[in-house]
């Protein structure tokens, strides 16, 4: 090649190289710009989205276009149910650099709320959420086989107590919980117990007239004598020891309950300081300190038995789908009730709305029935009224709001014919009975402005709703074409909206108001009846029967050993809590469901440990 051609080719190559450099530099800057604008500049940005109970606000810190930290800085999610979901979801988002991660079992709405709020934060940072793609799903772990002395299935009040007691006695215990956090329905209750026979009762309640016999009679009376006497005997005689054990040995912080409800014939109600979430905090730590193992998001599916039908273990499924086969000398079922499993509910419950946790599916009950366990009282549930069906088949528990509005304010309960049918200041069970006696099983609370303001204030105070705007959203809900709440200055219009007989209602209001002027309620004996203010706005909200706790379940003996249909114990199988039926008959006294869960848990855990050879 001659010099001139060579120089020409070199110039061409340099020109091409220069163009490529320019193009690549441009491309690189464009990419960098795209990265900056799509993932946002570094810094901290907030995002807001709806969780289960209301708005959740997150703050997201970006470093080099990567999600470096996520914090939930404001939320109104349920204490005792959602702490693990918040911790798991925020950690997973940081670990995967994506707002598209797995939900925590039992707290789906909270998990999704966080993910959506992080998406909003990415947008607020000038980025696009879909440029933070979901990580690839890891393959499930290998199936595994585990062995221990005692398996406890279910980590609510009954299960954690059984697990702690068995572990304290020296048993090697594995606790399986299908949700992402221990707690079950128990985490939602106030943490109250009956303390009959405890040192605490003598010292702090100064009650001299209580006894296991009196407690037994009270439980049977409220349970309408439909109780299993053996279960009532056990709980009456052992709850005092359980309370002493919880306070003295476990260190659970109990105090005298704020209210001594009058369904008890003695002062015996105590409550955990910090409600049930505080109970779980102490008990979970105790369990781990005693060497216990907790497997969360692990659902037991089948009881293993040998050729003599003795229980030998449990098959469970982990969150990623891998199978865990567990062998043990004792199994304690503590899986709670079956209120969320429509197929197990009796037809007599038509019109009742459920307000417990959707995970109350009766798993342990079904597993035991499958191997021949006997059952008791399956048709009984603990019923209330004053439910507002804000989601189909699920009711908000608005009892406190309705009670506050109808006491000392212009408010009455009426049926669809517009008639009053019950004393608004009577007992809750009278109101529940009056509701379910109606053919359509529905009452309505008619309120004037003053009563309605009280209803709203109490709903906010009890966190039934988080803001008045949340309550206002009820006005757009229709279930089966019917509204759950309405307001109007005209009773005629109100009745038309709600499907209530207008003439009947107008007549009822006229009679009630005339009697109020005389300061009396000769029809139902309402205490201090207050007339409905005429000429202002009227409000009406439905009152539907609701339940969460099933009172029936498996039959057990005094050791919480599960009985088979021939009346003999199913070998190596024990129960704790609501999975066992009969203790509370047709209805339970205040604090008795929680007392049963925890009291039967200690008895069942101890018996299971002994059965496993640990003493």
103 near ligand FAD, rule: CB under 6 A: no
CA distance 113 to 64: 25
CA 337 to CA 346: how far, in whole Å? 14
Q: Is 585 in the site for ligand FAD (CB under 6 A)?
A: no
Which of 122, 597 has the CB closer to ligand FAD? 597
Give yes or no for a contact between 305 and 371, defined as CB atoms under 8 angstroms apart: yes
Say whether residue 577 binds ligand FAD (CB under 6 A): yes
Return the number of the residue (118 or 300) whose C-beta is nearest ligand FAD.
Answer: 300
Least distance between ligand FAD and beta carbon 106 (Å): 6
Per DSSP, what are the bridge partners of residue 194? 269
Minimum CB separation from ligand FAD for residue 117, in Å?
26
Give the Cα-Cα-Cα angle 304, 310, 314 (nearest 5 degrees).
Answer: 20
Binds ligand FAD (CB under 6 A): choice among 154, 240, 271, 313: 154
Where are any strands of DSSP class E within 154-286?
173-176, 192-194, 254-256, 269-272
How many alpha carbons fall within 13 Å on the CB side of residue 341? 16
Q: Is 178 in the site for ligand FAD (CB under 6 A)?
A: yes
Nearest partner of 578 among 435, 416, 377, judged by Cα: 377
Given a contact cutoff of 8 angstroms between Cβ atoms, the answer to whether 149 and 332 are in contact is: no
Among the listed ranges 37-45, 138-146, 210-218, 329-337, the one in contact with ligand FAD (CB under 6 A) is 329-337
> Is residue 592 part of the contact set for ligand FAD (CB under 6 A)?
yes
Q: H-helix or E-strand containing 316? A: strand 311-318
Residues 456-485 interacting with ligand FAD (rule: CB under 6 A): none
Instruction: Give least dist CB 48 to ligand FAD, A.
Output: 27
> Measured from the CB of residue 364, what is the shortest distance to ligand FAD in angstroms?
6
Q: State the nearest-atom distance from the C-beta of 251 to ligand FAD, in Å.
A: 20
**Residues 158 and 600: beta-carbon distance below 8 Å:** yes
Selected binder of ligand FAD within 117, 194, 300, 388 (CB under 6 A): 300
Query: How many C-beta atoms surround the C-beta of residue 96 within 10 A?
Result: 17
- Candidates 6-14, 81-89, 151-159, 558-566: pick the segment binding ligand FAD (CB under 6 A): 151-159
In DSSP terms, 375 is beta-bridged to: 554
* Smallest gap from residue 336 Cβ to ligand FAD (A): 3
**Is residue 177 within the footprint of ligand FAD (CB under 6 A)?**
yes
Figure out which of the listed residues 363, 389, 521, 542 binds ligand FAD, where binding follows CB under 6 A: 363
Judge contact between 577 and 334, C-beta under 8 A: yes
Other Cβ atoms closer than 10 A to 95:
11
Among residues 40, 65, 113, 159, the one that binds ligand FAD under rule CB under 6 A: 159
Q: Percent helix, strand and coil across the chain, each rounded to 5?
A: 40, 25, 35
Minimum CB distance to ligand FAD smaller for 336 or for 545: 336
Distance, in Å, from the CA atom of 47 to the CA atom of 62, rounded to the nearest integer, reads 13
583 near ligand FAD, rule: CB under 6 A: no
Residue 578 binds ligand FAD, judged by CB under 6 A: yes
Q: Residue 589 Cβ, how far from ligand FAD at the closest point, in Å?
A: 8
Q: In this complex, which beta carbon is closest to ligand FAD, that of residue 86 or of residue 188?
A: 188
Assess 188 for contact with ligand FAD (CB under 6 A): yes
Q: Which is nearer to ligand FAD, 508 or 594 (CB)?
A: 594
- Residue 489, classified by CB atoms within 10 Å of its CB into exposed (0-12), middle (13-18) or buried (19+), is exposed
Q: Are 381 and 567 in contact (CB under 8 A)?
A: no
List residues near ligand FAD by CB under 6 A.
Answer: 153-159, 176-179, 183-186, 188-190, 192, 299-300, 334-336, 356, 359, 363-364, 548-549, 577-578, 591-594, 597
């Amino acid at each position: 090649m001659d010099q001139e051609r060579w120089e020409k080719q070199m110039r061409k190559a340099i020109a091409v190289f220069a163009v490529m450099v320019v193009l690549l530099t441009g491309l690189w800057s464009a990419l960098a710009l795209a990265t900056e604008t799509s993932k946002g500049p570094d810094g901290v940005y907030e995002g807001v989205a709806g969780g289960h109970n209301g708005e959740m606000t997150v703050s997201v810190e970006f470093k080099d276009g990567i999600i470096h930290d996520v914090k939930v800085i404001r939320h109104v999610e349920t204490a005792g149910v959602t702490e693990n979901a918040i911790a798991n979801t925020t950690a997973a988002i940081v670990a995967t650099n994506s707002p598209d991660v797995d939900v925590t079992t039992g707290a789906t709405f909270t998990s999704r709320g966080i993910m959506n709020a992080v998406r909003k934060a990415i947008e607020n940072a000038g980025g696009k959420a879909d440029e933070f793609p979901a990580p690839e799903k890891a393959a499930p772990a290998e199936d595994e086989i585990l062995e221990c002395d005692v398996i406890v299935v279910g980590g609510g009040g009954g299960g954690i107590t059984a697990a702690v007691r068995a572990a304290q006695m020296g048993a090697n215990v594995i606790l399986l919980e299908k949700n992402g956090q221990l707690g079950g329905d128990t985490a939602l209750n106030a943490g109250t117990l009956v303390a009959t026979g405890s040192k605490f009762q003598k010292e702090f309640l100064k009650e001299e007239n209580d006894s296991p016999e009196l407690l037994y009679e009270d439980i049977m009376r409220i349970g309408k004598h439909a109780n299993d006497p053996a279960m009532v005997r056990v709980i009456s005689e052992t709850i005092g020891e359980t309370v002493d054990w919880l306070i003295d040995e476990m260190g659970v912080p109990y105090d005298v309950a704020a209210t001594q409800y009058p369904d008890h014939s003695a002062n015996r109600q105590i409550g955990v300081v910090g409600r049930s979430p505080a109970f779980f905090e102490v008990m979970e730590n105790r369990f781990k300190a005693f060497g216990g193992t907790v497997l969360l998001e692990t659902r037991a599916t089948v009881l293993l038995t040998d050729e003599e039908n003795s229980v030998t273990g449990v098959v469970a499924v982990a969150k990623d789908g891998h199978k865990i086969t567990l062998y043990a000398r004792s199994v304690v079922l503590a899986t709670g009730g079956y209120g969320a499993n429509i197929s197990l509910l009796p037809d007599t419950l038509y019109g009742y709305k459920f307000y417990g946790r959707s995970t109350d599916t009766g798993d342990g009950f079904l597993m035991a029935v499958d191997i021949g366990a006997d059952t008791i009282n399956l048709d009984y549930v603990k019923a209330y009224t004053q439910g507002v069906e804000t989601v189909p088949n699920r009711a908000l528990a608005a009892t406190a709001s309705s009670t506050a509005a109808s006491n000392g304010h212009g408010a009455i309960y009426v049926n669809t014919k517009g008639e009053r049918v019950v004393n608004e200041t009577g007992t809750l069970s009278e109101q529940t009975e009056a509701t379910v006696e109606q053919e359509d099983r529905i009452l309505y609370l008619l309120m004037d402005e003053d009563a309605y303001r009280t209803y709203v204030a109490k709903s906010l105070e009890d966190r039934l709703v988080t803001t008045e705007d949340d309550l206002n959203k009820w006005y757009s809900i229709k279930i089966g074409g019917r509204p759950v709440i309405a307001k109007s200055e005209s009773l005629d219009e109100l009745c038309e909206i709600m499907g209530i007989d207008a003439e009947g209602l107008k007549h009822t209001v006229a009679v009630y108001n005339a009697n109020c002027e005389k300061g009396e309620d000769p029809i139902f004996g309402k205490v201090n009846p207050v007339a409905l203010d005429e000429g202002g706005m009227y409000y009406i909200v439905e009152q539907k029967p609701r339940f969460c706790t099933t009172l029936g379940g498996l039959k057990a003996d005094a050791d919480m050993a599960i009985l088979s249909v021939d009346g003999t114990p199913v070998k190596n199988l024990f129960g704790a809590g609501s999975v066992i039926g009969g203790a509370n008959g047709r209805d339970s006294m205040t604090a008795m469901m929680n007392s049963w869960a925890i009291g039967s848990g200690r008895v069942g855990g101890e018996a299971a440990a002994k059965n496993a050879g640990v003493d």
